[in-house]
Amino acid sequence: MQALLKTKTGINGLDEITVGGIPQGRTTLVCGGPGCGKTLLSMEFIVKGAMMYNEPGVFIAFEEKTEELTTNVASLGFDLQKLQKAKKLRLDYVHIDRDEIEETGEYDLDGLFIRLEHAIDSIGAKRVVLDTIENLFSGLSNQAILRAELRRLFHWLNEKGVTAIVTGEQGEGKLTRNGLEEYVSDCVILLDHRVINQISTRRLRVVKYRGSVHGTNEYPFLIDENGISVLPVTSVKLERKVSAERISTGIPSLDEMVGGKGFYRGSSILISGTAGTGKTSIAAYFANETCKRNEKCIFFAFEESPAQIIRNMKSIGLNLNPHMKKGLLHFHSARPALYGLEMHLAGIYKLVKEVKPSVVVLDPITNLVTIGLLHEVNSMLMRLIDFLQSENITVVLTALTSVMDQKIDEGVSSLVDAWISVKDLESNGERNRAVYVMKSRGMKHSNQVREFVISDRGVQLIEIFVGAGGIVVGSERDAEMRRKAGEGENEEQFRNEQARRRQTDSSVNGTKKAGKKTNKNNHGQKR
Amino acid sequence: MVRKDKKWELRLYVAGKTPKSVTALKNLQRYCEEHLKGQYRIEVIDLLLQPQLAEGDQIFAIPTLVRKVPEPIRKIIGDLSNEEKVLVGLNIRPVIMK
């Protein structure tokens, strides 16, 4: 038995969903509401066929004049005139105007058939698009003739052996206004343009595909300067290559906490913490380190603009500019509310495919909750992490916790391989940061809390000082260190330095138990 | 103003000698003889022989009668079995009335 032959559409992602394309030599119905991208999808099918698969195509337009069509798709980089000259494409505009036409007695649509056949034969077309054939219904009143003729047309197209797409306007409660789905039974693709919470997302679904497996979900798709991209990011199979290679976070002391070598390549790392705990800084360090290794990194910022991040990182001694100039570091800033969750996913997916980075940073994922329900965000992240890991891309996610009541953490934490938590410690009128590794799959990691210091010289983790009353941080720890340094020879120098750095003098409580670590360039508060 | 020498240039598109086409042509000739004697010219175009001509006059149904002159262009599709409709469509009636 012969399996169903398929024709590749050449549209990003669609061939994956349909497992190889649309049925060869048959007719596929593409339907959807106004402005959902039917014409574009079918045009891309023709153009890609002509350009990539050497299959000439005929495009019969019932709605737009050929000049209009040519202009409209020029913005997507489709040069229809050139293709026409090269005899790869034939455009024909069928104009139906009810005012011009009088009907009397029996007729058939042989005229259309002849035009179509002439067009097909003149360039040896393998692909045909009729966009949208439903215009016939508004132009002609004899429905009985029309329906019989349409049936004949689809049959004729099959016999002709061309792979065809017909488009249809979505009707109420039906796939198409005039029930085209009755005639096209092999493959039906539904496009949708939905607005939820004022955010619009385009989606595509293969409603039916006789004789073939296909993805059944709704897939978001993008229309941009490269045409249509559908995003089949749904594989949730837990099969992927894993790497034993470790990559540094750029913060040696953080690497130290996870066995001194950093995290696995291709793993996912979550950095969670309350506002202002330095999540972005850690992520930026990671990005910086990636670029230093001459690898590419994409930084998706949902809160700040690239300029803001670069400026802010400069203040802690991190210069990201050279990496950007070299094309290693890519920033992509977008307000979450700019478009829907699926579109964000689509955008990320697309950029990742283009840039092929080795590290992706998402900062912060919690902002996405403003545009979607929690479970939607979690499912999106799952798909995203899955996709990135299948490409062996390391992903760094930051999450703001207090706002979210740690809920997102719970959802995401099972997805990620490593989880770093940054916490505020408040004592003695000071707010200090502490960092610990919540989990780190497959590697030894420190169980210690470390003090996390951000200064104009960068980010540092300092081993916790344990005083008499327990952990001491901030100026208290400074004092502790000063006291310890006082036992040494350069007490004077240390004191001067302290005075210069600190505005407020802290109450030295003079506990005798000293910390073990001597850290040379350690500071108190940030900035 | 009605001029006796006013011309009707009619074009009938057919696809082979199908019953519908034959009926249409017969009907058309009859109406023209009755109402436009000596003032008309009928051109029959068989799209099976000249498919490239279908595009120019925007033909999709067969048979289609196109009134090229007098302007504006009018199209009547079908076998032209309804005389009333054809005459209205061709704008013949008012002329005859006057």
Percent residues over pLDDT 70 in chain A = 84
Domain contains B97: no
Nearest to A104 among B15, B55, B80 (CB): B80
CA distance B7 to chain A (A): 20
More confident residue, A435 or A500: A435
* Nearest CB to A107 within list B55, B63, B74: B63
Hey, are the CB atoms on A105 and B24 less than 8 Å from each other?
yes
| Inside any domain, residue B33 | yes
Closest-CA residue in chain B for A103? B77
Q: Which of B52, B77, B79 best tests the A interface by mutation, with the highest count of A CBs <10 A?
A: B77
Say what the ipTM of the complex is.
0.87
Residue B74 domain-assigned (yes or no):
yes
Q: Judge contact between A279 and A364, C-beta under 8 A.
A: yes
Number of domains within chain B: 1
Interface test with B, best of A91, A93, A106, A146 (most B CBs within 10 A): A106
Beta carbons of A102 and B74 less than 8 Å apart: yes
* pLDDT tens column, B8-38: 888 999 988 888 889 999 989 998 888 888 8
Q: What is the pLDDT of residue A90?
A: 92
Q: What is the pLDDT of residue B82?
A: 85
Asked if the model's pLDDT at residue A402 lies above 70, the reply is: no
What whole-number distance in Å separates Cα of residue A309 and Cα of residue A298?
Answer: 13
Q: Which tops the pLDDT comparison, B71 or A159?
A: A159
Test B77 with A107 for CB contact under 8 angstroms.
yes
pLDDT for the residue A127: 94
Specify the pLDDT at position A176.
80
Q: Which residues of A touch B79 (CB under 8 A)?
A: 104-107
Chain B positions touching A94 (Cβ under 8 A) are 58, 60
Please determine, for residue A83, whether its predicted confidence score (pLDDT) is greater than 50. yes
The residue-averaged pLDDT of A252-271 equals 86
What would the pLDDT profile of B39-62 be if each residue is shown by its tens digit? 888 899 999 998 888 888 888 899
Name the residue type at position A438: M
Average pLDDT of A351-362?
89
Q: Which of B18, B51, B77 sits opposite A103 (nearest CB)?
A: B77
* Radius of gyration from C-alpha coordinates of chain B: 13
Return the pLDDT at A262. Answer: 86
Residue B64 lies in a domain: yes
Measure in Å the smallest separation between the Cα of A146 and chain B Cα atoms. 10
Could you list the residue range(s) of the whole structural domain that residue B19 is in? 8-83
* B62 contact residues in A (CB cutoff 8 A): 107-111, 114
- Report DSSP letters for A190-243, one per residue: EEEEEEETTEEEEEEEEEEETTS----SEEEEEEETTEEEE--TT---------
Q: Nearest CA to CA, how far is B11 from chain A (Å)?
A: 14
Identify which of A101, A115, A136 has the shortest CB distance to residue B51: A115
Q: Does A447 touch chain B (CB under 8 A)?
A: no
pLDDT of A409-433, one tens digit each?
Answer: 566 777 788 888 888 877 778 888 8
- Residue A62 vs residues A87, A95, B57, B60: alpha-carbon distances, Å: 21, 6, 15, 11
Give the integer Cα–Cα distance in Å for A132 and A71. 18
Of A137-141, A287-291, A480-484, which has the strongest mean pLDDT?
A: A287-291
Q: Is residue B90 part of a domain?
A: no
A42 CB burial (10 A radius; 0-12, 13-18, 19+): buried
Is the pLDDT score of A45 beyond 90?
yes
Q: Considering only CB atoms, which chain A residues are within 8 Å of B51?
A: 114-115, 117-118
The rounded distance, in Å, linking the Cα atoms of A405 and A426 is 19
Q: What is the CATH number of the domain that holds B24?
A: 3.40.30.10
% of chain A residues with pLDDT over 90: 17
Helix H or strand E encompassing A436: strand A430-440
* Average pLDDT value over all residues in chain A: 80
Which amino acid, residue A233? V
C-alpha dihedral sign at B32, B36, B38, B41: negative
Asked if B76 and A101 come within 8 Å (Cβ–Cβ), the reply is: yes
- With 80 as the cut, is the pLDDT of residue B2 above it? no
- Give the confidence band of A503 by pLDDT, cuts at 50, 70, 90: very low
Q: CB contact, 8 Å: A109 with chain B?
A: yes
Q: How confident is the model at residue A496 (pLDDT cuts 50, 70, 90)?
A: low
One-letter amino acid for residue A483 of the chain:
R
**Positive or negative torsion for Cα B95, B96, B97, B98:** positive
With a CB-CB cutoff of 8 Å, which residues 38-97 of chain B face chain A?
47-48, 51-52, 54-55, 58-64, 73-82, 85-86, 88-89
pTM: 0.69
Q: CB-CB: which of B47, B73, B80 is closest to A114? A: B47
- Give the CA angle between residues A429, A430, A435 to the nearest 5°: 145
Mean pLDDT computed over A208-213: 85
Q: Which residues contact A460 (CB under 8 A, 6 or more apart)?
A: A251, A253, A452, A453, A454, A519, A521, A522
Mean pLDDT of A110-120: 91
pLDDT band at A512 (very low <50, low <70, confident <90, very high): very low
Other Cβ atoms within 10 Å of A253 Cβ, number: 18
A114 vs B54, B58, B80: nearest CB: B54
What is the distance between the alpha carbons of residues A203 and A89, in angstroms, rounded to a whole number?
A: 28
B15 located within any domain: yes
Kindly determine whether residue A106 and residue B79, on different chains, have CB atoms separated by under 8 Å. Answer: yes
pLDDT given at position A215 = 78
List chain A residues with CB under 8 Å of B52: 118
DSSP β-bridge partners for residue A362 = A300, A397
Residue A372 confidence (pLDDT): 64
pLDDT of B1 reads: 38
Do the bridges between strand A359-363 and strand A394-400 make them parallel or antiparallel, or are there none, so unpaired? parallel
Please report residues of A whose CB lies closer than 8 A to that of B57.
none
Q: How far apart are CA B80 and CA B65, in angstroms?
A: 9
* Cross-chain Cβ contact A114/B48 below 8 Å: yes
The answer to whether the CB atoms of B55 and A104 lie below 8 A apart is no
> Pick from A104, A50, A471: which is nearest to B83 by CA?
A104
Give contacts of A 67-96 with B, CB under 8 A.
92, 94-96
- Taking only the tens place, the pLDDT of each residue in A288-336 is 999 999 999 999 988 888 888 889 888 888 888 899 898 899 988 887 7
Position B37 in a domain: yes
Distances (CA, A) of B96 to A419, B5, B88: 92, 13, 11
- Taking Cα atoms as reference points, which of A113, A133, A122 lies closest to residue A90? A122
State the DSSP code for A444: -
Q: Identify the closest residue of chain A to B80 by CA–CA distance.
A: A104
Per-residue pLDDT, A411 = 66
Query: What's the confidence (pLDDT) of residue A255?
Result: 86
Interface of A with B in 353-392 (CB under 8 A): none
Q: What is the DSSP letter of A3?
A: P
More confident residue, B71 or A23: A23
Interface A-B, measured as beta-carbon pairs within 8 A, has a size of 95
| Higher pLDDT pick, A2 / A449 | A449
User: Which residues of A are less than 8 Å from B67 in CB distance?
Assistant: none
pLDDT band at A130 (very low <50, low <70, confident <90, very high): very high
Q: Mark yes or no for CB contact A109/B61 under 8 Å.
A: yes
8 Å CB contact of A140 and B13: no
Q: Distance between CA A287 and CA A332 in Å, rounded?
A: 13
Give the pLDDT confidence score for residue A122 in this predicted structure. Answer: 92
User: And the tokens for A118?
Assistant: 């002439």
Q: Is the separation of the CB atoms in A107 and B77 below 8 Å?
A: yes
Please give the Cα distance from A30 to A43 (Å, whole number): 12
3-state secondary structure A465-505: EEECCEEECHHHHHHHHHHHHHHCCCHHHHHHHHHHHCCCC
Q: Choose from A190-204, A313-327, A472-486, B84-98 the range with maximum mean pLDDT.
A: A313-327
**Which among A340-354, A501-515, B48-62 has the top mean pLDDT?**
B48-62
A135 closest CA partner among A49, A38, A9: A38
Judge whether residue A236 has pLDDT over 60.
no
**Residue at B59 is within a domain:** yes
